[in-house]
Structure 1
Amino acid sequence: MGTPLGDFVRAKRDSIQPESFGLPDRGRRRSPGLRRSDVATRAGISVEYLTRIEQGRDRNPSPGVVKALADALSLDARERNHLRYLVKITGGECPGRRRPAPPNRAVRPTVRATLRLLEPAAAFVTNRLGDVLAYTSGFELIVRGIGLLDTERPNLTRYVFTDPRARTFLPDWDRVADEQAFDLWLGPSAETSEWFKAELAPVAGPEFTRRLNHHLPPPQVPLRIDHPTAQQLRWNREKLELPSTDAQQLVVLLPADETTADAVERLRRRPRGHLRPAS
């Protein structure tokens, strides 16, 4: 049986074209990407050891080996963080059978004050499970009418996979779905993420479950929203990790073009509300 660590290393190896590393094209192969021998040579480890890691028979590679693998696969900063996280959960204990305590939904007063300073920009606080914990009136303005904030405890991951409106208002639904599923790897804890995935899977169906073992971080590109009363809005996202144990992020949406900025200004001419923390 494989492990998240082994699955990630194998998936990354399969995604790299040999010529991008200056290696000769060896013709048609059953598997795409680099050979194990290519990666092992670059990392300075044996093919047998790399095989054990990929197959889940070695769950505790040393920090030196982890760094060597990251260098051999030319991982970027985000992928290196994910690799270190997978080493941690692969070498640790498996989640227990008892339901873990839910993640802390409290947003620190200083973070709420930061949200107020960001007004009227679109910004919100979330965790890796997708819970929308607090947001500005600017965020409410741009998601008003798409259904995300209709529930008592809005959750972006549940919305994407279970609300039919998500496919209408998110033209890049597949990419957003990939992002939300990947973020579950970085949840408040491995146990909490596993419980969340187990609860969501029966209602979200195969579009969710088939993404659970994807280990390559999806590319960060502008978020597009087909606004129900405006037009298509394009947003760059700045994500700031908050220093806590609850895996919370402050996400700021910035107009990606002048058309979006102008459309938002027109929306802002309507009466605006105040900062509304989600329950």
Structure 2
Amino acid sequence: MASTPLGDFLRGRRARVTPHAAGVPVVGVRRVPGLRREEVAMLAGMSVDYYVRLEQGRERHPSAQVLDALSQVLQLDDDARLHLYRIAGLAPAPGRSTLPEQVDAGLADLLDRWPDTPAIVVGRAYDVLATNALAGALFDGFDDGANLVLAVFLDPAARTFYPDWDEVASRTVAGFRLLHGAFPHDPRIGEVLRTVTAQSTEFADRWARHDARGKGHGTKRFHHPDVGGLTLRMQTFDVPASPGQQLVVYHAHDESSAEALRLLGSLAATRSASQAWAPPGRPPSGGLP
């Protein structure tokens, strides 16, 4: 039986819920790490046969009531629940586009008006579409390239740049999974997914967990080669005019990080002045969040 995104998701998330967390008594030796199919069906109030057909892809049109029940049993948060609805065909996807993404000129101008605040725009495949000068200085440690997923998993420098690499990697995969569900036919997302899956078992292992979670807000630690450690708060905003694009803004968590950002700004200004005399055609330095 051919797998489907819905069946894969249900199997992956079922394996994540322990009997104890679901309130299921454990008797004897269990051969599966999470819930059994019949346990999910019982807790969701449906027949075992119907649930098996969902996992096997023989039932492709579950109702909203069924998805709500499964969301509760599988203990999905809001992002994962939205992803479940999308892959089940009950949440409208923002649309399909085969055109390269572009950043609105007004949004790009807004980034440049924040000289003391690192800000970037990422696309639906986690390509970095625009950065202001301070963000360019902050994320200047990676090889040339402009995709967050590829940088985090394929660039060795990422493991030094992100002291909490394991957490960053897991959140990157969860965010990418959410966008994959929203744009399942996007060619760029497919290209990135094929590349990183083929080259990183660490990505593939996390992808198999079927976590789906947006960027939102939080705190992230960095170790920059020029200024050392920084702790920055992150805020993420959807770009309504360009579905899938996100504006990510960083600001200092403490005074030492604020001082490091000021130093980075000075270094960026100095480098910008020196590069003004560089020969035409010099490639820009790479940098990813």
Q: In 2, distance between residues paired with 1:259 and 1:51?
A: 55
Q: Give 5+ residue unaligned stretches, structure 2.
A: 274-283
Shift of 1:245: 5.1
Shift of 1:253: 2.0
Shift of 1:201: 4.5
Letter in 2 for 1:178: S
Letter in 2 for 1:140: G
- Residue-by-residue CA offset, 1:145-173 (whole Å, 9 max, x unaligned): x125x34xx22222223322222322333
Letter in 1 for 2:262: E
Letter in 2 for 1:235: L
* Residue in 1 that maps onto 2:162: 170
- CA 1:29–1:104 in 2, change beyond 3 Å: closer, same or farther? same
Matched-pair contact (CA < 8 Å) for 2:80–2:213: no
- CA 1:195–1:219 in 2, change beyond 3 Å: closer, same or farther? closer
Q: In 2, distance between residues paired with 1:38 and 1:268?
A: 56
Q: In 2, distance between residues paired with 1:14 and 1:263?
A: 43
Matched-pair contact (CA < 8 Å) for 1:125–1:134: yes
1:189 aligns with 2:190: no
TM-score using structure 1 length? 0.78
* Residue in 2 that maps onto 1:96: none
- CA 1:31–1:139 in 2, change beyond 3 Å: closer, same or farther? same
* Residue in 1 that maps onto 2:58: 57
* Residue in 2 that maps onto 1:95: none
Letter in 2 for 1:206: T
1:131 aligns with 2:132: no
* Residue in 1 that maps onto 2:260: 263
Shift of 1:86: 1.9
- CA 1:101–1:79 in 2, change beyond 3 Å: closer, same or farther? closer
- CA 1:199–1:235 in 2, change beyond 3 Å: closer, same or farther? same
Shift of 1:256: 3.6
Q: How does 1:237-276 map to 2 (within 5 A)?
A: 237-244=234-241, 246-270=243-267, 272=269
Q: In 2, distance between residues paired with 1:22 and 1:208?
A: 31
Q: In 2, distance between residues paired with 1:156 and 1:77?
A: 23
TM-score using structure 2 length? 0.76
Shift of 1:226: 1.4
- Residue-by-residue CA offset, 1:35-88 (whole Å, 9 max, x unaligned): 333332332211221121122222221222112211332321111111122223
Q: In 2, distance between residues paired with 1:167 and 1:7?
A: 30
- CA 1:127–1:41 in 2, change beyond 3 Å: closer, same or farther? same
* Residue in 1 that maps onto 2:276: none
Q: In 1, distance between residues paired with 2:142 and 2:237?
A: 25
Shift of 1:28: 4.1
Q: In 1, distance between residues paired with 2:175 and 2:159?
A: 19
Q: In 1, distance between residues paired with 2:229 and 2:213?
A: 22
Q: In 2, distance between residues paired with 1:206 and 1:74?
A: 26
Matched-pair contact (CA < 8 Å) for 2:79–2:213: no
Number of residue pairs the alignment of both structures matches: 262
Q: In 2, distance between residues paired with 1:258 and 1:45?
A: 55
Matched-pair contact (CA < 8 Å) for 1:147–1:165: yes
Shift of 1:228: 0.3
- CA 1:27–1:224 in 2, change beyond 3 Å: closer, same or farther? farther
- CA 1:2–1:258 in 2, change beyond 3 Å: closer, same or farther? farther
Q: In 2, distance between residues paired with 1:213 and 1:103?
A: 29
* Residue in 2 that maps onto 1:13: 14
* Partner SS for 2:103: coil
Shift of 1:189: 2.8
Q: In 2, distance between residues paired with 1:244 and 1:147?
A: 30
- After TM superposition, the structure 1 stretch with the greater mean CA deviation from structure 2, 187-196 or 39-48, is 187-196
RMSD: 3.2
* Residue in 2 that maps onto 1:97: none
1:225 aligns with 2:222: yes
